[in-house]
């Protein structure tokens, strides 16, 4: 919405850009915060966001269990057993894909960490519970002993945890390590193509979060994009075409809203850039909660944000009518 306003100000009188990570691109000055996303997913898994106290630490530990177990046939069998995978892990490389599959569930649950049950993140095919990250953290609430049995119990906990996302239909006897629905896979593929062709948003993890260390590799990303989609990675396309922070400062009539539970917030506009390009914080909000229909369980923060947004929209309408008169 913000880019629409920037490009066509003669057509668009104003824009509410909710949960828009417009500062996530290569070429920004100052540079994009590449660790923000994973750190905010971790925040959702913390007591500050209502999750179990041990959750983030146990999630951090389970990755080491997976990586260690992946190196042996017996370990791979324990991964299959503990996680309830439908098929055997036939190689170390096969097993090393499991952490990324599991991490994906935390990413989507954090984006959909709404205060009421919702099917939005699941593309309408099934529903997530209220505050799904809290639900995903419940299996990680105990203290797990530093033993082989404790490590296996962590795998069992991970099975239950990722089930909030991958078994939201409550009818899956085992995990195939695929997307939860065809619609979700198509959605992910569309975004991956945009990532490769126009909207390159590199991210780093393992620094101040609950994930393993994994720093982005632009050369590897370019090779993958060419092999998968036949497109050449254009790292600075978005910041070049839309102008980044500098263009936003020169624009007008834009509200940027960001929720403190949304992982994308760390790459959004969090402070006013000029008197009419303003930031609105949504306390207790995940991914563009303020754009959802009103709900009895809406937190006070989203109600305040909507009122602030409506105030700006009303002003833009008055300005447009006055100009047209």
Confidence of residue 180 (pLDDT cuts 50, 70, 90): confident
Predicted confidence (pLDDT) per residue in 150-159, tens digit: 999 999 999 9
The Cα 268–Cα 255 span in angstroms is 11
Tokens of 177: 């390590």
> For residue 309, is pLDDT > 80?
yes
* Residue 267 contacts residue 23 (beta carbons within 8 Å): yes
pTM exceeds 0.85 for this model:
yes
Predicted confidence (pLDDT) per residue in 140-150, tens digit: 999 999 999 99
> For residue 325, is pLDDT > 80?
no
Fold of 2-25+237-324: Rossmann fold (3.40.50)
> What is each CA distance from 319 to 14, 155, 225, 313, in whole angstroms?
10, 58, 45, 10
CATH classification for the domain delimited by 36-181+198-215, as one of 3.30.565.10, 1.20.120.980, 1.10.10.60, 3.40.50.1000: 1.20.120.980
Helix residue spans in the chain (DSSP H): 2-7, 36-44, 55-69, 73-83, 92-96, 98-111, 132-137, 148-166, 182-197, 218-229, 237-242, 244-249, 300-324
The Cα 172–Cα 150 span in angstroms is 25
Q: Which residue has the tokens 């939201």?
A: 168
Q: Determine the average pLDDT of the residues in 56-72.
A: 98
Average pLDDT of the chain to the nearest whole number: 97
Confidence of residue 70 (pLDDT cuts 50, 70, 90): very high
Q: Say if 2-25+237-324 and 36-181+198-215 have the same CATH topology.
A: no
Q: Determine the average pLDDT of the residues in 53-69.
A: 98
> For residue 324, is pLDDT > 90?
no
Give the CA diameter of the chain: 77
Predicted confidence (pLDDT) per residue in 204-213, tens digit: 999 999 999 9
Predicted confidence (pLDDT) per residue in 254-308, tens digit: 999 999 999 999 999 999 999 999 999 999 999 999 999 999 999 999 999 999 9
* Residue 268 contacts residue 245 (beta carbons within 8 Å): no
Predicted confidence (pLDDT) per residue in 197-237, tens digit: 999 999 999 999 999 999 999 999 999 999 999 999 999 99
Confidence of residue 125 (pLDDT cuts 50, 70, 90): confident
Q: Of all residues in the chain, what percent carry a pLDDT higher than 70?
A: 100
Predicted confidence (pLDDT) per residue in 85-95, tens digit: 999 999 999 99
> For residue 59, is pLDDT > 80?
yes
Tokens of 257: 């809203």
Domain ranges across the chain: 2-25+237-324, 36-181+198-215
Confidence of residue 99 (pLDDT cuts 50, 70, 90): very high
């Amino acid at each position: 919405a913000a880019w629409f306003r920037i490009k066509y100000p003669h057509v668009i009188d104003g824009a509410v850009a909710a949960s828009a990570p417009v500062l996530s691109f290569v070429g920004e000055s100052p540079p994009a915060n590449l660790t923000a996303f994973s750190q905010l997913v971790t925040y959702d898994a913390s007591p500050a966001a209502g999750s179990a106290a041990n959750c983030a630490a146990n999630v951090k530990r389970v990755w080491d269990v997976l990586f260690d177990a992946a190196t042996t046939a017996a370990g791979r069998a324990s991964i299959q057993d503990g996680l309830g995978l439908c098929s055997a892990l036939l190689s170390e490389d096969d097993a090393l894909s499991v952490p990324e599959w599991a991490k994906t569930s935390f990413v989507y649950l954090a984006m959909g960490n709404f205060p009421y049950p919702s099917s939005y993140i699941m593309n309408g095919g099934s529903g997530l519970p209220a505050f799904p990250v809290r639900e995903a953290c419940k299996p990680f609430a105990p203290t797990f002993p530093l033993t082989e049995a404790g490590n296996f119990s962590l795998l069992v906990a991970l099975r239950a945890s990722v089930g909030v996302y991958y078994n939201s239909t409550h009818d899956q006897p085992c995990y195939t390590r695929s997307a939860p629905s065809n619609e979700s896979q198509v959605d992910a593929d569309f975004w991956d193509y945009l990532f490769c062709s126009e909207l390159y948003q590199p991210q780093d993890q393992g620094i101040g979060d609950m994930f393993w260390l994994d720093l982005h590799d632009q050369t590897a990303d370019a090779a993958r994009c060419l092999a998968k989609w036949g497109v050449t990675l254009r790292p600075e396309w978005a910041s070049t075409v839309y102008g980044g922070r500098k263009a936003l400062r020169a624009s007008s009539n834009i509200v940027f809203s960001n929720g403190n539970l949304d992982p994308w917030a760390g790459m959004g506009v969090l402070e006013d850039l000029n008197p009419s390009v303003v930031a609105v914080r949504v306390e207790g909000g995940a991914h563009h909660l303020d754009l959802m229909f009103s709900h009895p369980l809406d937190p006070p923060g989203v109600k305040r944000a909507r009122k602030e947004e409506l105030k700006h929209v009303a002003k833009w309408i008055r300005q447009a009518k006055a100009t047209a008169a």
